[in-house]
Amino acid sequence: MMKIKDLQIIRANRFVYCKIFTDNGLVGLGESGAWGFLEASAAALKTFREYLIGKDPLQIEHHWQYLYRFSHFRGAAIMGAVSAVDIALWDIKGKYFNAPVWQLLSGQCRNKVRVYAHISGRTVEEQIEHCLKAKEEGFTALGHINPFLDEPSSIPYSDGSSSMLYKAEERVGLIRDAVGRDMDLCLELHRRLEPALAIALSGKLEQFNPMFLEDPIRPDNFDAMAQVASMSRIPIATGERIHNIFEFQMLLERKACHYVRASICLCGGITGAMKIAALAESHHCSLVPHNPLSPVATNAELNLCTAIDNLAIAEYPSPYVRSTQDLFMNSNNKNLCMKDMVNHIPDVKDGYIEIPTGPGIGIELIPDVEDKFPFQPHKINTRLYEDGSICDQ
């Protein structure tokens, strides 16, 4: 019987990975999506190492249940670690059977995956420029479009409610005029609004036919999100900040979203995401997987997207920047690109990305990635309103 002999934690760029080594030479790779708490997630991985050594790596569901349930205390950092381990174990299983992970899950539901490009901009002119560039590149959907702009956290936000809604309406209108009617627009509201304002904004933006409004309010209260979803004629997408199938079940039972934004590196990995996809399917909802992470997460996500029927579209973080965070902070180092962290980047053509064909998740980190991409943990930094109170962005 094959056994796990070691777990290695890798910190590189703005990401945390784990490699799981077996006694027959197979190595699995996974990524944590704990975002602002990556060091805490790395510490959880170190704790998991003690349990995993000596275990059969093919017993994925059992290990998932064990790591999820051995302690009553969880959260983003823990679930990021569970996700990284789970993805690495599926990577090993695929390599063991010499098949891509999607083949082991349920087989092939599609031969390519539709994706949306990330759009950033401190001004609407910048946003339009980036939209037109993505359209030129063949994308048929544009995402992460912030009607409130991607301004730096150092600038206090001062617009009142009326000004905020009018400006958002004007910006989305300008973007729609620039890209035409055939482009899907995925609007990212960054939890900025209270429920009543979110409902008011959805009424103003309805004329522009967005594909969805993402996280219009803070995700903590499913009943409040359900209120927005029930009164908005634009579909609501949410779920990137919740961690387990039970939370997604509560979200779906309340009809609090129309698209499920599960994050494969936070919701329990491939195992957790497959369970969530089944829950969503039973509620006639589709997945729009959340992914602001590295190409490792993207390949894991593509295996999921290939294996499930109820996929609407997938988020695609450009590998040609240092990180998604750097892109939206306007601080990207052009000498360091995520594509150079890995051995393979899938092609994107006409708005679709090719599915993985290699064994496992189909991607590997380059040797010495930690040296070539020094780790930069996320700093505690958020925007404030003019009066000094917290502004979600």
Q: Are 137 and 162 part of one and the same domain?
A: yes
Phi-psi region of 305 (alpha: psi -120 to 50; beta: other; left: phi over 0): alpha
Q: Are 108 and 91 part of one and the same domain?
A: no
The number of distinct structural domains making up the chain is 2
Q: Are 83 and 122 part of one and the same domain?
A: no
**Residues in contact with 313: Cβ distance below 8 Å, sequence separation at least 6, in sequence order:** 114, 115, 116, 141, 184, 186, 211, 288
Looking at the domain assignment, is residue 367 inside a domain? no
Triad 205, 353, 263: Cα angle to 5°: 65
pLDDT at 74: 86
Looking at the domain assignment, is residue 156 inside a domain? yes
CATH of the domain at 91: 3.30.390.10
Per the document, the length of the chain is 393
β-partners of residue 115 are 314
Looking at the domain assignment, is residue 383 inside a domain? no
- Last residue in a domain, options 56, 74, 99: 99
**Residues in contact with 50: Cβ distance below 8 Å, sequence separation at least 6, in sequence order:** none
Residue 135 belongs to domain spanning: 103-359
Q: Cα–Cα distance between 90 and 107 in angstroms, integer?
A: 14
pLDDT at 328: 76
Q: Are 64 and 128 part of one and the same domain?
A: no
Looking at the domain assignment, is residue 387 inside a domain? no
Q: Are 212 and 234 part of one and the same domain?
A: yes
Which pair of tokens denotes residue 301? 């996500």
- Asked whether 295 and 342 are in contact (CB, 8 A), the reply is yes
Half-sphere exposure of 51 (CA within 13 A, CB side): 17
Phi-psi region of 129 (alpha: psi -120 to 50; beta: other; left: phi over 0): alpha
Q: Are 194 and 319 part of one and the same domain?
A: yes
Neighbours of 353 (CB within 10 A): 20
Q: Are 251 and 197 part of one and the same domain?
A: yes
Which pair of tokens denotes residue 59? 């017993």
pLDDT at 332: 63
* Helix axes 269-282 and 76-96, enclosed angle (nearest 10): 100
Looking at the domain assignment, is residue 155 inside a domain? yes
Alpha carbon 103 to chain centroid distance?
A: 22
Q: Are 91 and 119 part of one and the same domain?
A: no
Looking at the domain assignment, is residue 373 inside a domain? no
Write the secondary structure of the chain as one string of H (helix), E (strand) and C (coil): CCCEEEEEEEEECCEEEEEEEECCCCEEEEEECCHHHHHHHHHHHHHHHHHHCCCCCCCHHHHHHHHHHCCCCCCHHHHHHHHHHHHHHHHHHHHHCCCEHHHHHCCCCCCEEEEEEECCCCCHHHHHHHHHHHHHCCCCEEEEECCCCCCCCCCCECCCHHHHHHHHHHHHHHHHHHHCCCCEEEEECCCCCCHHHHHHHHHHHHHHCCCEEECCCCCCCHHHHHHHHHHCCCCEEECCCCCCHHHHHHHHHCCCCCEECCECCCCCHHHHHHHHHHHHHHCCCEECCECCCCHHHHHHHHHHHHHCCCECCEEECCCCCCCHHHHHCCCCCCCCCHHHHECCCCCEECCEEECCCCCECCCCECCCHHHHCCCCCCCCCCEEECCCCEECC
CATH of the domain at 221: 3.20.20.120
β-partners of residue 143 are 118
Q: What is the mean pLDDT of each run of 10 residues along the chain (393 residues)?
A: 97 97 98 93 97 98 96 90 98 98 97 97 97 98 96 90 96 98 97 96 98 96 98 97 95 98 98 98 98 97 98 96 81 81 95 97 97 91 91 87
pTM greater than the 0.95 cutoff: yes
Looking at the domain assignment, is residue 392 inside a domain? no
- Last residue in a domain, options 41, 69, 99: 99
pLDDT at 71: 87
Q: Are 167 and 233 part of one and the same domain?
A: yes
Neighbours of 178 (CB within 10 A): 16
- Last residue in a domain, options 73, 99, 125: 99
**Residues in contact with 284: Cβ distance below 8 Å, sequence separation at least 6, in sequence order:** none
Looking at the domain assignment, is residue 265 inside a domain? yes
pLDDT at 331: 64
Q: Are 166 and 37 part of one and the same domain?
A: no
Alpha carbon 124 to chain centroid distance?
A: 24
Q: Are 172 and 191 part of one and the same domain?
A: yes
Q: Are 233 and 112 part of one and the same domain?
A: yes
